[in-house]
Amino acid sequence: MKRIADKFFLIYSFLIFAFLFIPIIVMVLFSFNDSKLTAEWHGFTMKWYSELFGASGIWTAFYNSVFVAVVVTVLSALLGTATAIAMSRYKFRGKSAFDGYLYVPIIIPEITEALSILLLYNWVGIPLGLLTVVLGHLTFTIPFAAIVIRSRLAGFDRSYEEAAQSLGASELHTFFRVTLPLIAPGVIAGSLLAFTLSYDDFVKTAFTRGPGVEMLPTTIYNLARRGGVTPELNALATVALLISLVFAFMWQHFASK
């Protein structure tokens, strides 16, 4: 009976992974198809990537997405580290409530959060643009970064800090010379996760970017809506996927340290 159950779960797992990854593999494969039609294979070509790299509008969207992701990554690393240290080491009024709040942006539906952010911008009167995209992304990247960094601090041996301070190091000097190097893998992992989440986020980007601000996820969506699935779109999605995978693997590497 156990052998039958093992085979069933093996086949079930295979079907789930096939459902998830076969469409991605097909998309990447047909980005090299020497035909405008995506239903038949007509040979290998790189011309769609050549046309893609010559499209200025797509490059603008790419630069905007990378710029926003970099800013979000830096701010998430700084604020996430400060939050993780505060939650791990200090007691203050409202700590339990704040601890629960950290998980709210992760738990609630993203479209609900995106709509609430847009309503807040309209209520305050903040014009939509790159700044509002950055602020919108920070609402969910900071909690992710803080949770990752906090897990690194969970097993931190504070005797290293005590030894440094007993030798005359100040608290600030101890942090930069002892604490930060020891928790660096967690900070880097949290930062890479923040970059990946910001770079390919569609829902919050679509709600907060405003007119005239092109971002890579929304550009891919608009191209698919206007012209359907084309080899150029497959090539663009493949490049975006490759960048996300690189940062995801880097995050996995540092998170496992």
Residue 39 φ/ψ, nearest 5 degrees: -90, -20
Q: Please, what sign has the CA dihedral across residues 14, 17, 23, 26?
A: negative
What pLDDT sits at residue 60?
Answer: 85
Assigned CATH class of 55-255: mainly alpha
User: Mind listing the pLDDT tens digit for each residue in 94-151?
Assistant: 777 877 788 888 888 888 888 999 999 999 988 998 999 999 999 889 999 998 888 8
The full set of domain ranges for the chain reads: 55-255
Cβ atoms within 10 A of the Cβ of 256, count? 8
- 3-state secondary structure string, 173-240? HHHHHHHHHHHHHHHHHHHHHHHHHHHCCCHHHHHHCCCCCCCHHHHHHHHHHHHCCCHHHHHHHHHH
* Low-confidence spans in the chain with pLDDT less than 70: 1-2, 37-39, 55-56, 227-229, 251, 253-257
| Distances in whole angstroms, Cα of residue 127 to Cα of each of 71, 224, 241 | 19, 27, 31
The separation between CA 192 and the C-alpha centre of its own chain, rounded to angstroms, equals 7
Name the token pair of 247.
Answer: 């940062």
pLDDT at 68: 93
Report the pLDDT value the prediction gives residue 225, as an integer from 0 to 100: 79
Contact between 140 and 106 under an 8 Å Cβ cutoff? The reply is yes
